[in-house]
């Protein structure tokens, strides 16, 4: 089970599918109870809805899919455990689908998954899990069909004919069912989305850049799709935004800039990359199929030009950020982040700070700090393109 708290109220929003939250079914009053070898999760619903359930391994978990839902469930409820259930989380998975993930500490199978009607037109979601042997669990996993939504990419607008501006893709990490690090009531996905949106506005104001975002609302985007968006857009620069958490070291703070590499510069960089690379599993996706592809792409990162451009921008970013915000004692690192695996797009990942640090958490939620940090990143982007003179649309050109 991942070492950070997951599942926040209101995680599933209807931005992007044209509906307001008022149009969605509402889920409240989550309860997790154990009785012998059975654990039951129930939620009150404003109306009955269709649900489906499956189990997945690596890590062991139960996946519940339903239409987009407005979860008004207290965060404390998702932090509770019962029997072989370690925790559960919920949120928007695609534009029209919500998902509940139940983490298992012991194999279990789904005995019941239904939404039954209640008086007054209300409904109740009932998920019953039964403790199982490893063989029973693996048999249930084998019956789980491939997740069709995992392969559905968000369409990327093509670069307009005659466009001469550099394309910058901003990647706010996590989203939807994957909140990232959570400290108190602060979610990483919200912090980085606010930063990414502000950065996009700052860069667009200059008129020099065509700026795209991998997500501009609270939705989940698979790691491979984030990379695919950058490549399809012909990106000249890819900036992934995150905010780390170290529950055992609250004194550690400051921003860090990472580049992609097959070998991590240190154990801390390796730990962070391993955690961030689990984002698909957090959302209930089986990432095993593209492991070999990712390894191949990381090998391609040895292409001298792309790695050089990434390193140039990373050094410039550390310099400019360091003049405005607190930096980590080792501000420039590298590791095998899957989201930095495009072989033809210079890419960096910025950890804005440590949400586990009370001081950093305060700053990450400060509009004043965000404005200052965004200005520093924008200055670094300007400096990079002025000095590096990276070719426009390099990724798109390489794909042709």
- In order, the DSSP letters of 219-235 are ----HHHHHHHHHHTT-
Average pLDDT over residues 245-258: 84
Q: Which residue has the tokens 């008004």?
A: 72
Residue 168 neighbours by CB under 8 Å, 6+ apart: 203, 209, 210, 211, 212, 235, 236, 237, 238, 239, 381
Average confidence score pLDDT of the chain = 84
138: containing domain:
21-146
Cα end-to-end span (Å), the chain: 42
Domain for residue 4, yes or no? Answer: no
Question: Domain boundary residue among 94, 114, 146?
Answer: 146
Burial class (CB in 10 A: 0-12, 13-18, 19+), 382: middle
* pLDDT at residue 398, rounded to an integer: 45
- How far apart (Å, rounded) are the C-alpha atoms in residues 183 and 5? 8
Asked if 135 and 213 sit in the same domain, the reply is no
Residue 23 has pLDDT above 80, yes or no: yes
Domain for residue 156, yes or no? Answer: no
Please tell me the total count of domains within the chain: 2
Domain for residue 330, yes or no? Answer: yes
Question: Domain boundary residue among 94, 120, 146?
Answer: 146
Domain for residue 212, yes or no? Answer: yes
Asked if 33 and 137 sit in the same domain, the reply is yes
Nearest CA to 342 out of 244, 258, 236, 197 is that of: 236
- How far apart (Å, rounded) are the C-alpha atoms in residues 277 and 92? 19
Domain for residue 13, yes or no? Answer: no
| pLDDT per position as a tens digit, 138-195 | 999 998 877 655 545 567 877 788 889 999 999 999 998 888 888 877 889 999 999 9
Backbone angles phi, psi at 199, to 5 degrees: -65, -40
Asked if 108 and 206 sit in the same domain, the reply is no
Q: Which residues pair with 89 in a beta bridge?
A: 101
Give kind and range of the element (H or E) at residue 281.
Answer: helix 279-282
Asked if 169 and 298 sit in the same domain, the reply is yes
Domain for residue 45, yes or no? Answer: yes
Asked if 172 and 132 sit in the same domain, the reply is no
* pLDDT at residue 389, rounded to an integer: 52
Asked if 256 and 321 sit in the same domain, the reply is yes
For the record, the structure tokens of 384 come out as 């990079």
How many C-beta atoms surround the C-beta of residue 249 within 10 A? Answer: 12
- How far apart (Å, rounded) are the C-alpha atoms in residues 9 and 89? 10
Backbone angles phi, psi at 91, to 5 degrees: 165, 180
| pLDDT per position as a tens digit, 273-327 | 998 988 888 787 765 545 445 555 554 544 667 888 999 999 999 999 999 899 9
Asked if 277 and 392 sit in the same domain, the reply is yes
Asked if 258 and 323 sit in the same domain, the reply is yes
| pLDDT per position as a tens digit, 283-297 | 877 655 454 455 555
Classify residue 390 by its DSSP letter. Answer: P
Asked if 291 and 328 sit in the same domain, the reply is yes
* pLDDT at residue 80, rounded to an integer: 78
Backbone angles phi, psi at 39, to 5 degrees: -120, 135
Asked if 59 and 106 sit in the same domain, the reply is yes
Asked if 294 and 185 sit in the same domain, the reply is yes
User: What CATH code is carried by the domain that includes residue 100?
Assistant: 2.60.40.3500
Give kind and range of the element (H or E) at residue 344.
Answer: none
Q: At what angle do helices 304-322 and 367-388 cross, to 10 degrees?
A: 140
Asked if 137 and 211 sit in the same domain, the reply is no
* pLDDT at residue 384, rounded to an integer: 95
Domain for residue 121, yes or no? Answer: yes
Contact 77, 64 (CB under 8 A): no
């Amino acid at each position: 089970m991942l070492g950070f708290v997951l599942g926040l109220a209101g995680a599933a929003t209807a931005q992007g599918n044209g509906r307001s939250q008022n149009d969605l079914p509402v889920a409240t009053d989550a309860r997790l109870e154990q009785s012998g070898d059975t654990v039951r999760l129930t939620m009150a619903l404003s109306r009955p809805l269709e649900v489906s359930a499956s189990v997945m391994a690596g890590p062991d978990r139960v996946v519940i899919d339903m239409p987009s839902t407005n979860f008004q469930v207290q965060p404390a409820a998702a932090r509770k455990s019962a029997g072989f259930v370690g925790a559960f989380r919920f949120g928007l998975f695609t534009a029209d689908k919500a998902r509940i993930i139940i983490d298992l500490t012991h194999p279990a199978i789904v005995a019941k998954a239904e939404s039954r009607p209640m008086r007054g037109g209300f409904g109740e979601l009932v998920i019953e899990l039964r403790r199982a042997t490893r063989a029973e669990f693996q048999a249930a996993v084998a019956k789980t069909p491939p997740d069709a939504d995992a392969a559905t990419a968000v369409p990327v607008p093509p670069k307009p004919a005659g466009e001469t501006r550099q394309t910058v893709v901003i990647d706010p990490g996590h989203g939807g069912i994957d909140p990232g690090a959570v400290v108190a009531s602060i979610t990483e996905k919200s912090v980085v989305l606010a930063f990414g949106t502000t950065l996009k506005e700052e860069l667009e104001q200059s008129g020099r850049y065509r700026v795209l975002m991998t997500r501009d609302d609270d939705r989940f985007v698979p790691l491979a799709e984030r990379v695919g968006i950058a490549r399809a857009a012909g990106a000249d620069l890819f900036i992934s935004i995150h905010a780390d958490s170290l529950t055992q070291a609250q004194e550690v703070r400051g921003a860090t800039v990472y580049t992609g590499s097959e070998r991590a510069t240190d154990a801390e960089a390796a730990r962070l990359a391993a955690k961030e690379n689990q984002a698909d599993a957090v959302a209930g996706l089986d990432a095993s199929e593209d492991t070999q592809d990712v390894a191949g792409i990381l090998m391609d990162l040895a292409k001298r030009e792309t790695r050089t451009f990434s390193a140039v921008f990373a050094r410039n970013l550390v310099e400019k950020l360091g003049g405005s915000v607190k930096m980590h004692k080792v501000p420039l690192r590298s590791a095998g982040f899957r989201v930095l695996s495009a072989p033809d797009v210079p890419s960096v990942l910025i950890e804005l700070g440590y949400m586990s640090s009370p001081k950093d958490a305060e700053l990450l939620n400060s509009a004043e700090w965000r404005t200052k940090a965004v200005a520093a990143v924008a200055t670094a982007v300007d400096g990079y393109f002025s000095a590096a003179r990276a070719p426009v649309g390099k990724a798109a050109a390489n794909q042709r």
